[in-house]
Amino acid sequence: MTEFEIFSNPPIIESIIDIRVNLTKDTALSDFVKIHENIISEFPERRITMNLTGNFAINLEKFKIDNLDVLDVTKDLVTEKIEETEQNNIPEYLNFSSANKQDGFLFISNDKKRFLEVGLNGFTFSRIAPYTNWSDFYSEAFELWNQYIHITKSGEITRLGLRYINRIKIPFEPPVNLGDYLRIIPEIPNDVSVVLSEYFMKLVLFDTNYPKSQAILTQAVEEGNEKDIIPLILDIDVFQKKKTNLVDTSKIKKIFQEELREFRNKVFFGSITERTKELFR
């Protein structure tokens, strides 16, 4: 594996390991309470997580608009009708229904820095700043994952994900050129006289070494209260939609360690300049 620099002041504000599953054994939501009983000294707070679903249907017999064929209804028109529904002013031609049901639990650590979400659809472990190192983060995640598979016992993994959200504090020294800090940026032609007022970019990348690995790279400048910096969010979400046996621990670890983590590091270090690295040293 490639060796990458370890920074003393990493920009990571949240790190996430996410595993989506299809369970083959009948697992009740109440079974996940057993996980909390085992980790309650470290994760004393327990909350339930909810899944909100909704749908609507248009009654074509009642949906009539002058000079407009109902089959040619535009997206904007449908959006307008949805907004009417959200305001509880539901037209007679629109049938709307929704359901809100529990789908899991969220356990929160003593220091409010670590979060474990478990449910019938999967497992998510996250840690907010300060980030220590990969070994600590990864080891704790898999100790908790072992508790999850002990409860669920059998099933299939459908997606493995590793996400790092970074907040880079770019010094505000006009004129600010994002190209001094980022290597992957959109370019505005020199002959176009404009000033950039907002910034957001999203790319989907594939790993040529591991074709099943993808990365969603998102860059955005967020609003901040500090006058002397520009807060730049660099969000890297790498994942594989790969069917894997739920209890194949060695294979799961290999994918996270040798493929997803490697790809994430390549995207991160390939996105920043030497000047940016100096901010983290």
Radius of gyration over alpha carbons of the chain, in Å?
A: 23
For residues 18 and 12, give the distance between their C-alpha atoms in angstroms, rounded to a whole number. 17
Q: How many CB atoms lie within 10 A of CB 29?
A: 16
C-alpha span between 229 and 218 (Å, rounded):
20
Contacts for 157 with CB less than 8 Å, ≥ 6 apart: 19, 20, 21, 242, 243, 244, 245, 246, 252
Reported pTM? 0.82
- Whether the per-residue pLDDT at 97 is higher than 80: the answer is no
Which comes out higher in pLDDT, residue 138 or 224?
Answer: 138
SS3 117: strand
pLDDT digits (tens, 9 = 90+) for 123-171: 999 999 999 999 999 999 999 999 999 999 889 999 999 999 999 999 9
Q: What is the pLDDT of residue 86?
A: 52
Q: How far apart are the first and last CA of the chain?
A: 23
Instruction: State which of 17-26, 58-67, 140-149 shows the largest mean pLDDT.
Output: 140-149
Give residue limits of the domains in the chain: 12-44+109-280, 53-99
Position 258: which residue type? E
